[in-house]
């Protein structure tokens, strides 16, 4: 809807009010737009067709990313309607895998600032900087410090592409109004010397602050956010594992927040594991799961699966015995002296083994990769999983696509077409032995938008493990038997807004049941959620 307090060129130049050539004759007369636009009036469908034509003539994905960013900054509703109607084609452009390249080249392709930058030089002034944001009705913040961007490492301030992309998915996939979203870069410096030497780099050209100075800045940020934007949901994104766990431990019981790499990844992976049991016919509580990689993503998945196993009837010790880790130094066992605190619950009393030997000895039904190291699921490993299981589940979750532990084609070929495969970034359908396989994308976008929408709709004070469990179970229920038969452990992306609504409802029901909201449950929770969702049509 056009904003009545602005007119003329200001209306055209405001991405929130701009409709471009779609302004009606009556609107052109009312807002002083006559003569400022071509005379022929376009429909939004016409504009989408024109945008797709221009987008598809771009020669590579980074140019398509730049095109879509420019459209978002020019005509917000057209951008979101375009993405919603073409989610399968465009989500890999606005997020993984293309966002990885966009972050690497962020300083080179920078056109217009989006969001806020809070830096290590701003100690004592963080609240003032937050208050500079022109919109007060902010309900959702995605923040990163850029230290562990996807599987690409320390990209410093270039990591701002991640909060921008995540919030675009909140609006496209779950209808969170974009004016309620705020991307924030917590720029504490970078240890990437190549970036610091780059004259075009836009962030602080200094080593990262660490220790208490780092924690003090984050504390000032969180306190300032609560003051300027009361009740806002904070999503921590792409923090290095030790910081990710420490910040989650500090704030999860204090403010409405979660870490997507730990909890969002966990929920989407758990959903895939639950869906795989419908094919393997092995109950979740009887499933052995092995992780390659022991960072925040992998241990976050294991932590939530441990909760799910206990919920399925196992005691805590039995649940831990279903979960095994292999890292750079081999099987995680009690005799090792190099384990981080978050790995200790998964250190079993067993002899040290290499990856292949561990798979052969433990005989997992599910193999989950979260390494950032491409090719680590070799032919030998996948073939061994297929020898041990009729329907082995292979999750190659590392992002972007270039970092996946194996490709979909490799998983199907090396398993004789029996693998249940999922990946963090998209893979095309695979033809093998006369059958078409449609690999599922275990993308966090299936989960975090719905969880956020549910938390905002219910005005939750905290997010609990139970909410991520119900989100995972709800997502698994959305996978049809037909999709499972085609090899997919997740529903099609075209259904993602419907999936997000169901997850939001499930989360909101837990919020109200556990009395974690100051508001009463509406008679029609789904109707209430739908009434809050952003409509990008004109």
Catalytic residue positions, numbered: 95, 166
Question: What's the rounded Cα separation, in Å, for the pair 294 and 508?
Answer: 31
Tokens at residue 192, please?
């990437």
Backbone angles phi and psi of 390, in degrees to 5: -65, -40
Tokens at residue 460, please?
């939750």
Burial code (b: 16+ CB inside 10 Å, e: under 16) for 211-240 equals eeebeebbebbbebbbebbeebbbbbbbbb
Determine contact, residues 42/20, Cβ cutoff 8 Å: yes
Determine contact, residues 160/185, Cβ cutoff 8 Å: yes
Cα 78 from chain centre: 23
> From residue 287, how far is each of 30, 320, 363, 475 by CA, in Å?
65, 11, 10, 19
Question: What's the rounded Cα separation, in Å, for the pair 220 and 71?
Answer: 34
Tokens at residue 532, please?
């809050």
Determine contact, residues 187/204, Cβ cutoff 8 Å: yes
Question: The tokens 């420490």 sit on which residue?
Answer: 246
Alpha-helical segments (H) within 363-488: 379-388, 408-414, 448-458, 465-477, 481-485
Number of CB atoms found within 10 A of residue 290's CB: 22
Cis peptide before 97 (omega within 30 of 0): yes
List of residues 6+ apart from 368 with CB closer than 8 A: 269, 289, 290, 291, 292, 298, 301, 395, 397
Question: In what order do the strands lie in the sheet containing 116-119?
Answer: 116-119, 181-187, 140-144, 233-236, 257-259
For 127, the 3-state DSSP assignment is helix
Question: The tokens 């837990």 sit on which residue?
Answer: 510
Question: What's the rounded Cα separation, in Å, for the pair 440 and 381?
Answer: 20
Cα 370 from chain centre: 14
Cα 414 from chain centre: 29
Question: In what order do the strands lie in the sheet containing 323-327?
Answer: 330-331, 323-327, 289-292, 366-369, 393-396, 420-423, 440-441
């Amino acid at each position: 809807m056009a904003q009545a307090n602005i007119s003329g060129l200001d209306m055209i130049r405001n991405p929130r009010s701009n409709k471009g050539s779609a302004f009606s004759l009556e609107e052109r007369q009312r807002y002083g737009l006559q003569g400022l636009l071509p005379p022929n009036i376009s429909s939004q469908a016409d504009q989408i067709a024109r945008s797709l034509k221009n987008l598809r003539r771009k020669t590579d994905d980074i140019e398509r990313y730049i095109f879509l960013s420019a459209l978002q900054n020019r005509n917000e509703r057209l951008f979101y309607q375009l993405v919603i109607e073409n989610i399968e084609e465009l989500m890999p452009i606005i997020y993984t895998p293309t966002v990885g390249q966009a972050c690497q080249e962020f300083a080179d392709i920078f056109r217009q600032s989006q969001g806020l930058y809070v830096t290590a030089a701003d100690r004592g002034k963080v609240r003032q900087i937050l208050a500079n944001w022109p919109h007060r009705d902010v309900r959702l913040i995605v923040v990163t410090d850029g230290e562990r961007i996807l599987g690409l490492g320390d990209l410093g301030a270039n990591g701002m592409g991640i909060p921008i992309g995540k919030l675009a998915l909140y609006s496209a996939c779950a209808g969170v109004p974009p004016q309620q979203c705020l991307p924030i870069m917590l720029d504490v410096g970078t240890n990437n010397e190549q970036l610091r030497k780059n004259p075009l780099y836009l962030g602080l050209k200094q080593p990262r602050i660490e220790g208490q100075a780092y924690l003090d800045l984050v504390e000032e940020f969180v306190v300032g956010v609560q003051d300027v934007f009361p009740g806002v949901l904070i999503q921590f994104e792409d923090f290095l594992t030790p910081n990710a766990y420490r910040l989650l431990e500090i704030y999860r019981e204090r403010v409405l927040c979660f870490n997507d790499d730990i909890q969002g990844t966990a929920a989407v992976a758990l959903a895939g594991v639950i869906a795989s049991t419908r094919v393997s016919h092995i109950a979740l509580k009887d499933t052995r799961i092995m992780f390659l990689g022991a960072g925040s993503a992998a241990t976050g998945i294991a932590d939530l699966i441990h909760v799910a196993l206990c919920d399925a009837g196992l005691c805590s010790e039995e649940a831990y015995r279903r979960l095994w880790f292999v890292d750079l130094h081999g099987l995680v066992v009690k005799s090792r002296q190099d384990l981080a605190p978050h790995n200790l619950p998964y250190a079993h009393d067993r002899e040290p083994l290499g990856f292949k030997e561990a798979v052969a000895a433990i005989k997992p039904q599910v193999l989950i990769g979260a390494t950032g190291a491409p090719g680590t699921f070799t032919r030998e490993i996948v073939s061994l999983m297929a020898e041990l299981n009729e329907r082995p589940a292979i999750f190659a979750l590392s992002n972007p696509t270039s970092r996946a532990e194996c490709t979909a084609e490799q998983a199907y070929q090396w398993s004789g077409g029996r693998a249940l495969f999922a990946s963090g970034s998209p893979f095309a359908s695979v033809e093998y032995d006369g059958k078409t396989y449609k690999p599922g994308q275990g993308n966090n976008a299936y989960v975090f938008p719905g969880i956020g929408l549910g938390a905002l709709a219910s005005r939750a004070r905290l997010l609990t493990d139970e909410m991520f469990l119900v989100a995972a179970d709800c997502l698994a229920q959305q996978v049809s038997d037909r999709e499972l038969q085609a090899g997919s452990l997740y529903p099609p992306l075209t259904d993602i807004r419907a999936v997000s609504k169901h997850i939001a409802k499930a989360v909101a029901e837990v919020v109200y049941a556990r009395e974690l909201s100051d508001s009463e449950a509406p008679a029609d929770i789904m109707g209430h959620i739908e009434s809050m969702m952003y409509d990008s049509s004109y």
